Amino acid sequence: MSWHVLGAGSLGCLWAARLARAGVPVQLILRDSARLDAYQRAGGLTLVEQGQARHYPVPGQTAADPAPIQRLLLACKAYDVESAIAAVKPRLAPGAELVLLQNGLGSQEAVAARVPQARCILASSTEGAFRDGAAPDGEWRVVFAGHGHTWLGDPLDDHPPAWLADLERSGIPHQWSPDILSRLWRKLALNCAINPLTVLYACRNGGLSEHRAEVATLCAELGQLLHSCGQPAAAQDLYADVQRVIQATAANYSSMHQDVAQGRRTEIAYLLGHACAAAQHHGLALPLLAALHERLVQHLDACGLPSH
Protein backbone atom coordinates (compact mmCIF):
# COMPACT_ATOMS: atom_id res chain seq x y z
CA MET A 1 0.00 0.00 0.00
CA SER A 2 1.44 3.35 -1.04
CA TRP A 3 2.02 6.40 1.13
CA HIS A 4 1.04 9.76 -0.33
CA VAL A 5 2.97 12.78 0.90
CA LEU A 6 1.20 16.08 0.28
CA GLY A 7 3.65 18.97 0.28
CA ALA A 8 7.08 18.50 -1.30
CA GLY A 9 8.72 20.93 1.14
CA SER A 10 11.31 20.38 3.86
CA LEU A 11 9.56 17.77 6.02
CA GLY A 12 7.59 16.21 3.15
CA CYS A 13 10.79 15.49 1.18
CA LEU A 14 12.59 14.31 4.32
CA TRP A 15 9.87 11.72 4.99
CA ALA A 16 9.43 10.73 1.33
CA ALA A 17 13.19 10.15 0.83
CA ARG A 18 13.50 7.92 3.89
CA LEU A 19 10.40 5.87 3.01
CA ALA A 20 11.61 5.49 -0.61
CA ARG A 21 15.12 4.36 0.33
CA ALA A 22 13.64 1.65 2.58
CA GLY A 23 11.60 0.39 -0.38
CA VAL A 24 8.26 1.60 1.03
CA PRO A 25 6.02 2.73 -1.88
CA VAL A 26 5.54 6.52 -1.73
CA GLN A 27 4.23 9.26 -4.02
CA LEU A 28 4.54 13.02 -3.69
CA ILE A 29 1.53 15.27 -4.31
CA LEU A 30 2.57 18.64 -5.75
CA ARG A 31 0.59 21.85 -5.73
CA ASP A 32 -0.29 21.98 -9.45
CA SER A 33 0.81 20.79 -12.87
CA ALA A 34 3.43 23.57 -13.22
CA ARG A 35 5.09 22.44 -9.96
CA LEU A 36 4.79 18.80 -11.05
CA ASP A 37 6.50 19.60 -14.39
CA ALA A 38 9.34 21.39 -12.58
CA TYR A 39 9.71 18.44 -10.16
CA GLN A 40 9.75 15.93 -13.00
CA ARG A 41 12.38 17.99 -14.86
CA ALA A 42 14.57 17.70 -11.74
CA GLY A 43 13.98 13.91 -11.91
CA GLY A 44 13.01 13.62 -8.25
CA LEU A 45 14.25 14.95 -4.94
CA THR A 46 17.63 15.17 -3.27
CA LEU A 47 18.30 14.66 0.43
CA VAL A 48 21.51 16.01 1.93
CA GLU A 49 22.49 14.17 5.08
CA GLN A 50 25.82 14.74 6.88
CA GLY A 51 27.11 16.55 3.80
CA GLN A 52 26.23 13.64 1.45
CA ALA A 53 23.62 14.32 -1.24
CA ARG A 54 21.53 11.40 -2.51
CA HIS A 55 18.91 11.52 -5.21
CA TYR A 56 15.53 9.77 -4.88
CA PRO A 57 13.28 9.56 -7.97
CA VAL A 58 10.08 9.49 -5.89
CA PRO A 59 7.09 9.57 -8.31
CA GLY A 60 5.08 12.81 -8.30
CA GLN A 61 1.46 13.63 -9.08
CA THR A 62 -1.08 16.41 -8.45
CA ALA A 63 -4.27 16.30 -6.38
CA ALA A 64 -6.14 15.69 -9.66
CA ASP A 65 -4.67 12.15 -10.01
CA PRO A 66 -7.58 9.68 -9.76
CA ALA A 67 -5.89 6.96 -7.65
CA PRO A 68 -7.41 6.48 -4.18
CA ILE A 69 -5.40 7.53 -1.13
CA GLN A 70 -5.22 5.24 1.90
CA ARG A 71 -2.32 6.73 3.85
CA LEU A 72 -1.61 10.46 3.62
CA LEU A 73 1.16 12.44 5.24
CA LEU A 74 0.06 16.07 5.27
CA ALA A 75 3.31 18.03 5.20
CA CYS A 76 2.29 21.56 4.24
CA LYS A 77 2.22 24.62 6.50
CA ALA A 78 -0.68 24.92 8.97
CA TYR A 79 -2.25 27.80 7.00
CA ASP A 80 -2.36 25.65 3.83
CA VAL A 81 -3.93 22.47 5.24
CA GLU A 82 -7.58 23.31 4.69
CA SER A 83 -7.26 24.02 0.98
CA ALA A 84 -4.84 21.09 0.60
CA ILE A 85 -7.18 18.57 2.23
CA ALA A 86 -10.17 19.90 0.27
CA ALA A 87 -8.30 19.16 -2.96
CA VAL A 88 -7.62 15.48 -2.11
CA LYS A 89 -10.79 14.75 -0.10
CA PRO A 90 -12.61 13.02 -3.01
CA ARG A 91 -9.66 10.60 -3.30
CA LEU A 92 -9.64 9.42 0.31
CA ALA A 93 -10.45 5.71 0.48
CA PRO A 94 -12.82 4.38 3.16
CA GLY A 95 -10.80 4.04 6.38
CA ALA A 96 -8.06 6.39 5.10
CA GLU A 97 -5.45 7.47 7.65
CA LEU A 98 -3.87 10.93 7.74
CA VAL A 99 -0.72 11.99 9.57
CA LEU A 100 -0.74 15.70 10.38
CA LEU A 101 2.77 17.13 10.76
CA GLN A 102 1.79 20.76 11.39
CA ASN A 103 3.27 22.81 14.18
CA GLY A 104 0.93 24.50 16.66
CA LEU A 105 -2.75 23.73 17.19
CA GLY A 106 -5.99 24.53 15.39
CA SER A 107 -5.17 23.21 11.92
CA GLN A 108 -5.61 19.58 13.05
CA GLU A 109 -9.19 20.22 14.20
CA ALA A 110 -9.94 22.01 10.94
CA VAL A 111 -8.75 18.98 8.93
CA ALA A 112 -10.66 16.50 11.10
CA ALA A 113 -13.86 18.52 10.62
CA ARG A 114 -13.42 18.42 6.83
CA VAL A 115 -12.79 14.66 6.60
CA PRO A 116 -14.80 12.99 9.39
CA GLN A 117 -14.52 9.67 7.53
CA ALA A 118 -10.72 9.55 7.95
CA ARG A 119 -8.57 8.76 10.98
CA CYS A 120 -6.41 11.78 11.85
CA ILE A 121 -3.12 11.05 13.59
CA LEU A 122 -1.38 14.06 15.08
CA ALA A 123 2.39 14.41 15.04
CA SER A 124 4.91 16.52 16.93
CA SER A 125 8.45 16.48 15.61
CA THR A 126 11.80 17.77 16.77
CA GLU A 127 13.46 16.89 13.45
CA GLY A 128 14.79 19.82 11.43
CA ALA A 129 15.11 20.23 7.67
CA PHE A 130 15.27 23.08 5.19
CA ARG A 131 15.20 23.57 1.44
CA ASP A 132 18.60 24.44 0.02
CA GLY A 133 17.57 27.54 -1.95
CA ALA A 134 21.16 28.20 -3.05
CA ALA A 135 21.45 24.97 -5.09
CA PRO A 136 20.27 24.90 -8.75
CA ASP A 137 17.71 22.20 -7.88
CA GLY A 138 17.10 23.96 -4.50
CA GLU A 139 13.32 23.54 -4.64
CA TRP A 140 13.66 19.77 -4.35
CA ARG A 141 16.92 19.63 -2.44
CA VAL A 142 16.39 19.25 1.28
CA VAL A 143 19.05 19.39 3.97
CA PHE A 144 18.46 17.18 7.02
CA ALA A 145 19.73 19.69 9.56
CA GLY A 146 18.63 18.38 12.92
CA HIS A 147 18.17 14.80 13.97
CA GLY A 148 15.26 14.45 16.35
CA HIS A 149 12.21 12.44 17.17
CA THR A 150 8.57 12.36 16.10
CA TRP A 151 5.71 11.57 18.47
CA LEU A 152 2.46 10.37 16.93
CA GLY A 153 -0.92 9.90 18.54
CA ASP A 154 -4.67 9.91 18.11
CA PRO A 155 -6.68 11.61 20.89
CA LEU A 156 -9.77 9.62 19.83
CA ASP A 157 -8.25 6.12 19.58
CA ASP A 158 -5.04 5.03 21.28
CA HIS A 159 -4.49 1.94 19.09
CA PRO A 160 -1.19 2.34 17.23
CA PRO A 161 -1.57 1.87 13.45
CA ALA A 162 0.10 -1.13 11.79
CA TRP A 163 2.10 1.13 9.46
CA LEU A 164 4.38 2.27 12.29
CA ALA A 165 6.43 -0.69 10.99
CA ASP A 166 7.06 1.33 7.79
CA LEU A 167 8.57 4.13 9.89
CA GLU A 168 10.71 1.62 11.79
CA ARG A 169 11.95 0.16 8.51
CA SER A 170 12.67 3.65 7.15
CA GLY A 171 14.75 4.70 10.16
CA ILE A 172 12.32 7.48 11.12
CA PRO A 173 12.73 7.79 14.91
CA HIS A 174 9.24 7.81 16.37
CA GLN A 175 7.08 6.86 19.30
CA TRP A 176 3.36 6.25 19.65
CA SER A 177 2.16 8.75 22.22
CA PRO A 178 -1.18 8.47 24.02
CA ASP A 179 -0.67 12.07 25.32
CA ILE A 180 -0.04 13.70 21.95
CA LEU A 181 -2.25 16.72 22.78
CA SER A 182 -0.20 17.40 25.89
CA ARG A 183 2.98 17.32 23.76
CA LEU A 184 1.50 19.67 21.18
CA TRP A 185 0.34 22.10 23.89
CA ARG A 186 3.74 22.03 25.61
CA LYS A 187 5.50 22.74 22.31
CA LEU A 188 3.04 25.55 21.58
CA ALA A 189 3.68 27.08 25.02
CA LEU A 190 7.47 26.92 24.52
CA ASN A 191 7.04 28.53 21.12
CA CYS A 192 4.83 31.33 22.54
CA ALA A 193 7.34 32.08 25.31
CA ILE A 194 10.34 32.30 22.97
CA ASN A 195 9.65 32.88 19.26
CA PRO A 196 7.55 36.09 19.25
CA LEU A 197 10.00 37.85 21.59
CA THR A 198 12.96 36.90 19.37
CA VAL A 199 11.14 38.57 16.46
CA LEU A 200 10.24 41.71 18.45
CA TYR A 201 13.72 42.09 20.02
CA ALA A 202 15.42 41.03 16.75
CA CYS A 203 17.66 38.62 18.64
CA ARG A 204 18.90 35.05 18.79
CA ASN A 205 17.24 32.79 21.37
CA GLY A 206 20.06 33.51 23.81
CA GLY A 207 19.21 37.25 23.69
CA LEU A 208 16.11 36.49 25.77
CA SER A 209 18.30 35.97 28.84
CA GLU A 210 18.19 39.80 29.04
CA HIS A 211 14.38 39.67 29.31
CA ARG A 212 13.96 37.13 32.10
CA ALA A 213 11.14 38.94 33.94
CA GLU A 214 9.04 39.23 30.79
CA VAL A 215 9.63 35.56 29.93
CA ALA A 216 8.75 34.52 33.49
CA THR A 217 5.43 36.42 33.43
CA LEU A 218 4.59 34.98 30.03
CA CYS A 219 5.25 31.46 31.35
CA ALA A 220 2.99 32.10 34.34
CA GLU A 221 0.17 33.20 32.00
CA LEU A 222 0.78 30.25 29.66
CA GLY A 223 0.64 27.94 32.68
CA GLN A 224 -2.80 29.35 33.61
CA LEU A 225 -3.95 28.81 30.04
CA LEU A 226 -2.76 25.19 29.96
CA HIS A 227 -4.62 24.46 33.22
CA SER A 228 -7.81 26.05 31.82
CA CYS A 229 -7.47 23.96 28.66
CA GLY A 230 -7.28 20.74 30.71
CA GLN A 231 -3.53 20.30 30.07
CA PRO A 232 -1.94 20.54 33.55
CA ALA A 233 0.91 18.14 32.61
CA ALA A 234 1.95 20.50 29.78
CA ALA A 235 2.24 23.33 32.35
CA GLN A 236 4.63 21.51 34.67
CA ASP A 237 7.99 23.28 35.10
CA LEU A 238 7.32 25.34 31.97
CA TYR A 239 9.52 28.28 32.98
CA ALA A 240 12.49 26.00 33.79
CA ASP A 241 12.07 24.25 30.44
CA VAL A 242 11.88 27.59 28.58
CA GLN A 243 15.11 28.70 30.30
CA ARG A 244 16.74 25.39 29.38
CA VAL A 245 15.74 25.80 25.70
CA ILE A 246 16.93 29.43 25.64
CA GLN A 247 20.35 28.33 26.95
CA ALA A 248 20.64 25.19 24.82
CA THR A 249 19.76 27.07 21.62
CA ALA A 250 21.31 30.43 22.56
CA ALA A 251 23.18 30.79 19.25
CA ASN A 252 20.15 29.94 17.06
CA TYR A 253 17.56 32.17 15.49
CA SER A 254 14.04 30.84 16.19
CA SER A 255 12.00 29.49 13.27
CA MET A 256 9.66 32.50 13.48
CA HIS A 257 12.61 34.90 13.44
CA GLN A 258 13.98 33.12 10.35
CA ASP A 259 10.58 33.22 8.61
CA VAL A 260 10.18 36.98 9.21
CA ALA A 261 13.81 37.74 8.26
CA GLN A 262 13.31 35.87 4.97
CA GLY A 263 9.94 37.50 4.24
CA ARG A 264 8.03 34.21 4.67
CA ARG A 265 4.58 33.89 6.17
CA THR A 266 4.61 32.69 9.81
CA GLU A 267 2.28 30.20 11.49
CA ILE A 268 1.28 32.83 14.13
CA ALA A 269 -2.43 31.95 13.94
CA TYR A 270 -1.69 28.37 15.08
CA LEU A 271 0.76 29.38 17.83
CA LEU A 272 0.33 32.67 19.74
CA GLY A 273 -2.94 33.39 17.90
CA HIS A 274 -4.33 30.01 18.95
CA ALA A 275 -3.23 30.56 22.57
CA CYS A 276 -5.00 33.95 22.71
CA ALA A 277 -8.16 32.54 21.08
CA ALA A 278 -8.19 29.67 23.61
CA ALA A 279 -7.79 32.14 26.51
CA GLN A 280 -10.72 34.16 25.19
CA HIS A 281 -12.78 30.99 24.78
CA HIS A 282 -12.21 30.16 28.47
CA GLY A 283 -12.91 33.77 29.58
CA LEU A 284 -9.34 34.04 30.85
CA ALA A 285 -7.65 37.46 31.00
CA LEU A 286 -3.96 37.05 30.12
CA PRO A 287 -2.80 40.65 29.59
CA LEU A 288 0.86 40.03 28.73
CA LEU A 289 0.05 37.29 26.23
CA ALA A 290 -2.63 39.48 24.59
CA ALA A 291 -0.23 42.46 24.42
CA LEU A 292 2.49 40.23 22.93
CA HIS A 293 0.07 39.04 20.25
CA GLU A 294 -0.91 42.64 19.45
CA ARG A 295 2.75 43.71 19.19
CA LEU A 296 3.56 40.75 16.91
CA VAL A 297 0.54 41.45 14.67
CA GLN A 298 1.63 45.09 14.32
CA HIS A 299 5.20 44.02 13.55
CA LEU A 300 4.08 41.56 10.86
CA ASP A 301 1.73 44.18 9.37
CA ALA A 302 4.66 46.62 9.22
CA CYS A 303 6.73 43.93 7.44
CA GLY A 304 3.91 43.36 4.93
CA LEU A 305 3.42 39.76 6.12
CA PRO A 306 0.08 38.10 6.95
CA SER A 307 -0.69 38.51 10.65
CA HIS A 308 -3.47 35.93 11.00
| Catalytic positions | 187
Q: Is 245 in the site for ligand NAP (CB under 6 A)?
A: no
- Among 3, 4, 5, 6, indicate the residue that binds ligand NAP (CB under 6 A): 6
Q: How far apart are CA 73 and CA 249, in angstroms?
A: 29
Q: Is 87 in the site for ligand NAP (CB under 6 A)?
A: yes
Cβ distance to ligand NAP smaller for residue 62 or 224:
62
Q: How far apart are CA 160 and CA 152, in angstroms?
A: 9
Q: Is 259 in the site for ligand NAP (CB under 6 A)?
A: no
**Shortest distance, CB of residue 139 to ligand NAP, whole angstroms?**
7
Strands 119-125 and 60-62: unpaired
Q: Is 75 in the site for ligand NAP (CB under 6 A)?
A: yes
Sequential DSSP letters for 173-242: -EEE-TTHHHHHHHHHHHHHHHHHHHHHTT--GGGGGGGHHHHHHHHHHHHHHHHHTT-HHHHTTHHHHH
Q: Which of residues 98-117 bind ligand NAP (CB under 6 A)?
A: 101-103
Q: Are 75 and 64 in contact (CB under 8 A)?
A: no
Which residue in the shown chain puts its C-beta closest to ligand NAP? 9
Which 8-state DSSP code applies to residue 52? E
Q: Is 120 in the site for ligand NAP (CB under 6 A)?
A: no
Q: Is 188 in the site for ligand NAP (CB under 6 A)?
A: no
Give 86-107 as a 3 state SS string.
HHHHHHEEEEEEEEECCCCCCH
Give the number of C-alpha atoms closer than 13 A to the C-alpha of residue 267, restricted to the C-beta side.
Answer: 22
Q: Which of residues 14-73 bind ligand NAP (CB under 6 A)?
A: 29-31, 35
Q: Is 11 in the site for ligand NAP (CB under 6 A)?
A: yes
Q: Are 151 and 124 in contact (CB under 8 A)?
A: yes
User: x/- binding map, residues 130-169, to ligand NAP, per CB under 6 A?
Assistant: -x--------------------------------------
Residues engaged in binding ligand NAP (CB under 6 A): 6-12, 29-31, 35, 75-78, 80, 83-84, 87, 101-103, 125, 127-129, 131, 267
